[in-house]
Structure 1
Amino acid sequence: MKRNILILLLLSAILPVSSCKKFLEEQSQTDIIPRSASALNEMILGSSGSAMDVGIRFLDDDMVHDNTLVAKGLVYDSYTWQPEIITKSGGSGSMQWTNLYPKILVSNLVLDYAPKVTGTPAEIENVSGQAYLLRAFNYFQLVNFYAKPYTDKLSNPDQDPGVPLMLASGLSFEGKSRNTVAEVYKQILEDLDKGTELMERSGKNTSLYRINHLAGYLLSSRVQLYMGNWEKVIEAATNVLNRKSDLMNLNTWGGADQNNKPIIGTQNQEVVWVYGSPHEAVFPTGQQNEAYQYTLSNDLLSSYETGDLRASIYIKNKRSMKRPIVGIAKVAQAFRISEALLNRAEAHAQLNKLGQTQHGLLALNDLNTLRKKRFTTDSYHDLVSTDADDLLQKCYEEKRREFFGEECHRWFDLRRHGMPSITHFYRESNTLTLKYVLEDHDPAYVLQIPKGVLEKNTKLIPNPAPAPRIGH
């Protein structure tokens, strides 16, 4: 009884109360359980996607303070990489942990109950497939927030602490230690394999609001990319592109129209899955709150070439136009086909750098396939490469131009590309602007596990804490 009450409380925290009542029925006075595959299907939809605190958007080098004086808050803490992003109640670091684990537990609950509910085999396999894919995605997010990157020169994934793997619907962290980074990635890959197999076999979801087999293959290409398994990246990305290769053509897209035709939205033909709350990533236009006093960095803006339509369709007045304003937006993030091309291009470029030179042309072909849809016809030109390092850098730059502000692509890429030093400037007063520096391989590249979680479970090893960061 206690376990089921805790499950109900968990679900109530994630889903509207009316939804909980809708898919949970009282079996008796002492047992509350989901009874059908459709009930599990509604449950998994309610927890779909990976919650992301808005402060995470300000950690990387794509955002810059616009010099408007505004009261300091959580965005300032993230932007200047202060310890407060992990110690304050509701700070960015703690919110990732507290938002993602309940979603994982819903996936576990679905998988625990799937053999016991009514429904056709296809319905049960389909909802189980969704649960596996969502669990993989949420663990991928967690291990990239709270652990060292898999392939860094200073990393040892077989020994580096990752995050605790919880694979059943129990709710307690008590006595649970951190699995290694390698163990977490192994579980992610196993879940992706199971999820995509079940989704392929049971019937493919057609709603873009539900995770599906294409999103599973795309996530597989992303995970393999982070692990440095270049051949497997190519295999997974090709699995996506063989099934869906549509790219939006910005020549026929029209002007920037974030409210009626957002880049991150179901109208975009290259979207395969949309998820998340718009409040994770969108701010009301014109509202003078702290988060709105930041624009895209000049470093990013200057990287767009003449004729690149993304500079006028994705961006206006140095701000992203990819999403609708709050009140209109329905989702915050999206998986897009263009990522499959860019993941595959990087994998080809990495193999080219290893001496397999036949992959160099394949990398350029993927990059140019995307770019043809992003430039005006009269300004487009094929990329060429001078050497292996130049080609790889072109892959990195193209991904930054395409995916700025989406999910955590840039922050996670900075981590796996060597955790370089970043500098942010912040206007402290009318007469003082200070510089804040995230050092090379800074401890702040790995978020801290929330204090409350560490206090309740002494087996969880904390990450090295960054010192308070002082501007100069």
Structure 2
Amino acid sequence: MKNIYKKIACLLALGLTFASCENYLDDVPKGFKSPTTLADYEAFLRDEYTNHRVDITGASQLLNDQYVTIATLSSNRLYNALYLWDENADRIALKVSDETTYYSGYAGISTFNLIIENALNTTKATEAEKRVVWAEAKILRAMNYFNLVNFYADTYLASTASTKLSVPLITSANINAPSKQVTIQEMYDFILNDVKEALPYLLKVSQTPLHPNLGAGYAFYSRVYLQMNNYTEALKYADLALAENNKLYDWIGYYNTNKAIIDVPNSYTTTTSPMSYNYVENYTYRHGTFNNLTTENSIPIERAQRFEAGDARFISRWKIYTVGAETYYRRTLSGAFNFGGITTVEVYLIKAECLARAGQISEALAVLNAVRKTRILPSYYQDIATTDKTTALNAIYRTKRNELINTLIPFADARRLNAEGIYKVSFTKTVNGTAYTLKSDSHLWTMPFPQGAIKNPGNGTITQNVAK
């Protein structure tokens, strides 16, 4: 058990170690409790600010889903490269410090490994209770690996997944655990196996919003299969997830309740985020990108223009704002935001895409419109109706990008679609008279590992997955 205390004392992710920590503690410190009961290990799952932090700052900046101020662009060359799509920038050289996306991801994995290794041998619990906590940790570990592989490695393609490298795979909480940078295929196989092993033991109603339930397991399975372009399996598990929870939040009702505050001109008084722990769309809750964890990103004007007219969800969350020479849409919600977990609206839109891919256009649009009816104000709403597959899919993608803004999913979807080559995603904008373009085949769609990880890879090696 001494390795637990080494890990806590050194505050290390990815099982990395510094020389000063190598022999820091060999015994349980006085005044500390050695975890032995299931409750001791289950408590780690409730550490939301450490183990449920899903930072995707780089992806949000690349997509321009986050407004970056002029001052920040001037002072932070990496943010500048991402936000202004500078293909000549050496992002590897610019990542000179540790990065939350990488280290918080592996810090969570280390915790989940600890639970997976020990939960089944704990005391003061039945075998069934032990299996539940073990299974929850498996789902959360798989979710972290999915986030990391879809940030730092190329997207999944069956033709190349067995030859391209992904991210380091670590399956033990031991501080000296081996680290192997496996292929993309090996990583996806590992993720799928974690979910497969966990599903039989997940509860239909979990202990807290931080604990993934059965619906979360099915929903995440659907997300992974979609990223692998396996639409049959993605649809299967989307339906199973929706059988567990199919609720959609009434954003029109939220707007109407708060419109007296929302509609006041030049007022930026915030209203309370409904996307919190008890959001009816939640399968499992995890925090998102923003450092504060109680506010969300403001967004550029160009990004705001991609929302549908009359979108109550948009109107309730952002308002145009000018300060000095800068104009953008300022955030107007405060509270908690489920940007790192998984929700029903994502699963509805996975289902819609899978149906459209299978040529079931009317069925796909029925699912899409069911979502839109809870978002688009009645005075603006019209059913999307078409028999054309491309038109239907583009409508689904537009809604999904807007619904899941500030999450990893629009970034992961764009990479998937660009690799497929049919429904490519690219962006253009003009800033101060200069035109900028993010091409669908740009190397910017894969993020480089931070220098700290390359120089100190723990008990293994790491190869960069992108040239710059």
Instruction: Bin the TM-score by the shorter chain.
Output: 0.7 to 0.9
Specify whether residues 89 and 365 from structure 1 end up closer, same or farther in structure 2 by C-alpha distance, changes over 3 A only: same
Q: Is the 1:62–1:297 contact (alpha carbons within 8 Å) kept by the matching residues of 2?
A: no
- Unaligned segments of structure 2, at least 5 residues: 15-26, 263-268, 321-327, 420-424
Does the alignment pair 1:336 with 2:343? yes
Amino acid at match of 2:329: R
- Is the CA contact 1:249–1:374 (under 8 Å) kept in the aligned structure 2? yes
Give the C-alpha shift of residue 440 in structure 1: 3.5
Residue number in structure 1 paired with 2:114: 109
Amino acid in the other structure paired with 1:48:
N
Q: Aligned match of 1:266 in 256, 272, 277?
A: 277
Q: How many residues in Structure 1 have an aligned counterpart in Structure 2?
A: 425
Q: Judging changes above 3 Å, is the alpha-carbon distance between structure 1 residues 283 and 67 closer, same or farther for their aligned structure 2 residues? A: farther
Contact 2:13 2:104 (C-alpha < 8 Å) held by counterparts: no
Match of 1:296 in 2: 300
Residue correspondence of structure 1 range 84-95 to structure 2 within 5 A: 84=91, 87-90=94-97, 94-95=99-100
Q: What residue is the counterpart of 2:443 in the other structure? A: 443
| 8 Å CA contact 2:110, 2:172 repeated in 1 | yes
- Once the 2 structures are TM-superposed, how far is the Cα of residue 36 of structure 1 from its aligned partner? 0.7
CA distance in 1, matches of 2:164, 2:38: 38
Q: Which structure 1 segments of 5+ residues have no match? A: 15-25, 286-291, 353-358, 428-432, 467-472
Give the aligned partner of residue 19 of structure 1: none
Displacement, 1:249? 1.7
The DSSP-based 3-state class of the residue aligned with 1:251 is helix
Aligned pair in 2 of structure 1 residues 250, 2: CA closer, same or farther (>3 Å)? closer
Alpha-carbon distance, 1:212 to partner: 2.3
Contact 1:5 1:32 survives alignment (8 Å): no
Conservation of the 8 A alpha-carbon contact between 1:97 and 1:142: yes
Look up the equivalent residue of 1:339 and give its one-letter code: E
> Residue 148 and residue 331 in structure 1: after superposition, are their counterparts in 2 closer, same or farther (change >3 A)?
closer
Q: Distance in 2 between matches of 1:145 and 1:306?
A: 31
Work out the percentage of aligned pairs sharing the same amino acid: 23
Say if 1:280 and 1:220 are closer, same or farther in 2 by CA, change over 3 A.
farther
Residue 34 of structure 1: aligned partner:
35
Q: Conserved in 1, the CA contact under 8 Å of 2:135 and 2:202?
A: yes
Distance 1:196 1:434 in 2: 51
Structure 2-normalised TM-score? 0.80
Given the alignment, which residue of 163, 172, 182 partners 1:159?
163
Tell me how large the CA RMSD over aligned residues is.
Answer: 3.3
Q: How far apart are the structure 1 equivalents of 2:107 and 2:239?
A: 33
1:147 matched residue in structure 2: 153
Q: Deviations over 1:299-339 (max 9, x none)?
A: x4334444332331233225364741xxx547654422111
Post-superposition offset of 1:411: 1.6
Q: Distance in 2 between matches of 1:310 and 1:188?
A: 33
Cα distance, 1:226–1:442 mapped onto 2, change above 3 Å: same
Cα offset for 1:390? 1.3
Helix, strand or coil at the partner of 1:89: coil
2:188 to 185, 189, 204: 185
Cα pair distance change 1:4/1:49, threshold 3 Å: closer
Deviation at 1:60, TM superposition (A): 0.8
Q: 1:363 to 1:107 in 2, by over 3 A?
A: same
* Equivalent position of 1:319 in the other structure: 329
What CA distance in whole angstroms lies between the structure 1 residues aligned with 2:466 and 2:58? 20
Whole-angstrom distance in 2 between the partners of 1:451 and 1:392: 39
Secondary structure of 1:319's aligned partner: strand
Cα distance, 1:449 vs structure 2: 2.1
Whole-Å Cα distance in 1 between the matches of residues 224 and 374 of structure 2?
26
| Correspondence for 2:173 among 126, 151, 169 | 169
**Length-normalised TM-score, structure 1:** 0.79
Q: Is the 8 A contact 2:97 2:451 kept in 1?
A: no
